Amino acid sequence: MKMHSYWLDTATPSGDYTRTEVPKEVDVAVVGGGFTGLSTALHAARAGKSVALLEANTVNWGASGRNGGMATTGLAIGFRDAIKRYGEERAVGYFREYNKAIDLIEDIVEENELDVDYERSGKMNLAWKPSHFEGMKQTAEALKRLVGQPVELVNRANIRSEIGSDVYHGAMVDPLGAGLHVGKFGHALAGLAIDAGATIHEKAEVVDVERVGSGTVHDLKTTRGNLRAGAVVLGTSGYTGKPFGWQQRRVIPVGSFIVVTEPLPRNVVDELLPNRRMASDSKNFIYYFRITPDNRLLFGGRARFALSDPSQDKESGDILTKAMHRVFPQVRDARIDYMWGGLVDISMDQMVHAGERKGIHYSLNYSGHGVQMASYMGKVMADAVSGKPEANIWSDLKNPWIPGYFGQPWLHLRVGGAYFGLQDKFS
């Protein structure tokens, strides 16, 4: 069994950027080599900017290479909750951004003829309890009426048409959700950014940032050299750290863990997920799962509120394996080939937060929806540094500091885990 990402293990890097020379000056410095940073670099370079992308590890090393490979519709907080919080008009606008995000990925894939196993096979949200399915009925009605979203409900009697499990009490299916090989996609974005004129610098951790004057110009000190940038874009999500303390205090990194089986026989795959949906359930301690391009079952979840490191990944992976066997007893004898963890970036309100703070542009807090939103927000950030900030509809959202949080998430994880566990029990 391999204790690292299946996606990164089965993708070919676009290049070795560990020795590229860090330029002395650029129009845009992008901090973070995940989808936010890579998309920003690509779109800013295509807009004529000189761009240097700075990554502390290697391209796709963080959440972008460790997730479930799902580009799905919908807000993290749920559409009806968004209406209650923001009103119908704003909730609809926020929801449609996620549709636009998937459309952008599809456009990038098709226009550049990328071989990244992209397929729009749909998203399925599964009801863990009967009351959750009743809520899905209300959500489906609101989505059809206000957004025109083509969602469909599947009751428990017909659940086997969508999933080979009797655990769930119904489902809501949205055909606009998609899946892709995120390892291949990340490296493809890196290659496109290089082709557009950007430079990528791996093992180049930003250790200090100093503002020059009162504008967006900054001097950045990295472990591989220093540079001056006309604008800085921060896209480090759950791996945000010093020297970006203001943003760090608004992101709690939460571990999300995944196990992947050996390749399964076609008849087993057809029973598990006959329509190859991207699937997740309605718990706070969420399970999410899909079939990989080579017919493995990928099964992920928060398992427990913990960070990701080798010991936590193994313990959480074992918990997930037991959960997978409960949901899908058909794979009880299947070998586990991969087990790994990564960090989801969650904010107080579970909304995307993007804007400018003391001259630094940032886009963070995707709350488990980063495949599509990070890719999309990279383009939004490129527009912002090109003088078109109106593309960012998230900029007026309040972005509160997490009380008592200074970048050490252990206490908040324990409290959050207990709180969400109780919600799952009594919802």
How confident is the model over 283-308, as pLDDT tens digits?
978 999 999 999 999 999 975 555 55
State yes or no: pLDDT of 123 exceeds 80. Answer: yes
Q: Binning pLDDT at 50, 70 and 90, where does residue 424 land?
A: very low
Task: Please give the class, per CATH, of domain 6-415.
Answer: alpha beta
The residue type of 381 is M
Quickly count: other Cβ atoms within 10 Å of residue 347's Cβ: 20
- Stretch 198-219: mean pLDDT: 97
The residue type of 134 is E
Q: What is the largest CA-CA distance in the chain?
A: 65
State yes or no: pLDDT of 225 exceeds 60. Answer: yes
pLDDT score at 313: 78
Closest CA to 174 of 221, 222, 125: 125
**Whole-number average pLDDT of the chain:** 93
Instruction: Note whether 49 and 386 are within 8 A (CB).
Output: yes
Q: Cα(87)–Cα(281) distance, rounded to whole angstroms?
A: 25
* pLDDT tens string 306-329: 555 666 778 888 999 999 999 999
Q: Cα(314)–Cα(372) distance, rounded to whole angstroms?
A: 28
Q: Cα(45)–Cα(195) distance, rounded to whole angstroms?
A: 9
Own/partner long-range contacts of 410-414 (Cβ < 8 Å, ≥24 apart): 410/307, 412/252, 413/252, 413/254, 413/305, 413/306, 413/307, 414/305
Share of the chain above pLDDT 70, in %: 93
What 3-state class would DSSP assign to 342? Answer: strand
Between 304 and 15, name the one with better pLDDT: 15
Q: Which two tokens stand for residue 11?
A: 């993708």
pLDDT score at 415: 41
Share of the chain above pLDDT 90, in %: 84
* pLDDT tens string 130-175: 999 999 999 999 999 999 999 999 999 999 999 999 999 999 999 9
State yes or no: pLDDT of 419 exceeds 70. Answer: no
Spell out a b/e string for 266-300, using b for 16 or more CB atoms within 10 Å of the CB, else e: eebbebbbeebbbbbbbbbbbbbbbbbbebbbbbb
pLDDT score at 306: 55
Three state DSSP letters for 112-180: CCCCCCCECCCEEEECCCHHHHHHHHHHHHHHHHHHCCCCEEEEHHHHHHCCCCCCCCEEEEECCCEEC
Quickly count: other Cβ atoms within 10 Å of residue 354's Cβ: 26
> Which neighbouring-strand residues pair with 257?
301, 341
Closest CA to 186 of 60, 68, 70: 60
- Stretch 8-14: mean pLDDT: 96
What sign has the CA pseudo-torsion 347, 349, 354, 356? negative
Q: Binning pLDDT at 50, 70 and 90, where does residue 409 land?
A: low
pLDDT score at 380: 98
- Stretch 3-7: mean pLDDT: 96
Q: Alpha carbon of 130 to those of 199, 258, 355: distances in Å?
A: 52, 26, 40
Backbone angles phi, psi at 419, to 5 degrees: -65, -50
- Stretch 207-228: mean pLDDT: 97
Quickly count: other Cβ atoms within 10 Å of residue 208's Cβ: 12
Query: Tell me, what DSSP letter sits at residue 22?
Result: P
- Stretch 103-131: mean pLDDT: 98
Quickly count: other Cβ atoms within 10 Å of residue 129's Cβ: 16
Q: Binning pLDDT at 50, 70 and 90, where does residue 204 land?
A: very high
Which residue is listed with tokens 């604008």?
Answer: 231
State yes or no: pLDDT of 272 exceeds 80. Answer: yes
Domain spans in the chain, listed from the N-terminal domain onward: 6-415
Q: Alpha carbon of 322 to those of 326, 328, 335, 345, 367: distances in Å?
A: 6, 10, 13, 26, 25
pLDDT score at 315: 87
- Stretch 205-221: mean pLDDT: 97
